[in-house]
Amino acid sequence: MSTVDVRNPEGKVVGTAELPEEIFGIEPNVPVMHQVVTAQLAHARSGTHKAKTRAEVAGGGAKPWRQKGTGRARQGSTRAPHWRGGGVAHGPKPRDYTQRTPKKMVRLAIRSALSDRASESRVHVIDEWGFAPPSTKRAIASLEALGLRERGQRQARLAIVLDRAERETWLSFRNLGERVRIVLPEEINTYDVLLSDTVVFSTATLATTIARLGDGSTEEAR
């Protein structure tokens, strides 16, 4: 079982936290992570796309001109796909994009993603943020003190895992743009972890995450 330093918002080390091997120390399973992320992104699609066929477009009941004698190619309807205003051939139809992902697969994928970040020392733990009242200025100062943000440099993508009760901290971080993603411990997923360069837990959200993902053996993760 590996350990990671626990720091306060000023960047000082105040203790250590244990990272369970079965969650933060397995060999990442890349194909499973790919399949789970693909399924998650597919599930976000509404699937409501629709184009009308020639049978569904209004009009076109009369033959545009007689079959023979005009010198033109024969036509049966003005709603054929090659006519302007006609139906669409092989167009999109409403469909369900949901893909089946068993619970064990989802759990293995998130463990693999967290293990990948932990292997590169990109999992950080804070004792508690303690932003009261909310302050974006203090949030930026904390990230700089922790070495997660540098002035004048392109900012790394961060996934900050916050509890629902940490409303002041939530309000402090939400103005930092799309490169700072706030995630609930019960909703942390493979896509959010892989999209972020670094994952930041508090001691409370780390315990919640371990309790959620730790209900399985190391053999299952293999």
Q: Considering its fold, how many domains does the chain have in total?
A: 2
Which range marks the domain in which residue 72 is found?
Answer: 50-95
Of 16-30, 75-89, 98-112, 207-221, which gets the smallest average pLDDT?
A: 207-221
Mean pLDDT of the chain: 91
Longest Cα separation, the chain: 94
Running DSSP on this structure, what letter comes out for residue 207?
A: H
40 and 111: one domain? yes
Question: For 93-127, how does the pLDDT look when each residue is reduced to its tens digit (9 = 90+)?
Answer: 999 999 999 999 999 999 999 999 999 999 999 99
Q: What percent of the chain has pLDDT over 90?
A: 79
Residue 215's pLDDT is what?
64
Average pLDDT over residues 27-52: 96
55 and 6: one domain? no
Predicted confidence band of residue 221 (pLDDT cuts 50, 70, 90): very low
Question: For 145-183, how does the pLDDT look when each residue is reduced to its tens digit (9 = 90+)?
Answer: 999 988 777 888 999 999 988 899 999 998 888 889 999
Task: Identify the residue whose tokens are 């790394």.
Answer: 156
Backbone angles phi, psi at 57, to 5 degrees: -75, 135
- Are the CB atoms for 220 and 21 separated by under 8 Å? no
Alpha-carbon gap, residue 110 to 148, rounded angstroms: 22
Residue 217's pLDDT is what?
46
pTM of the model as a whole: 0.83
Q: Which two tokens stand for residue 96?
A: 């369900």
Q: Three-state DSSP class for 4?
A: strand
Q: Which two tokens stand for residue 163?
A: 């509890």
89 and 121: one domain? no
211 and 128: one domain? yes
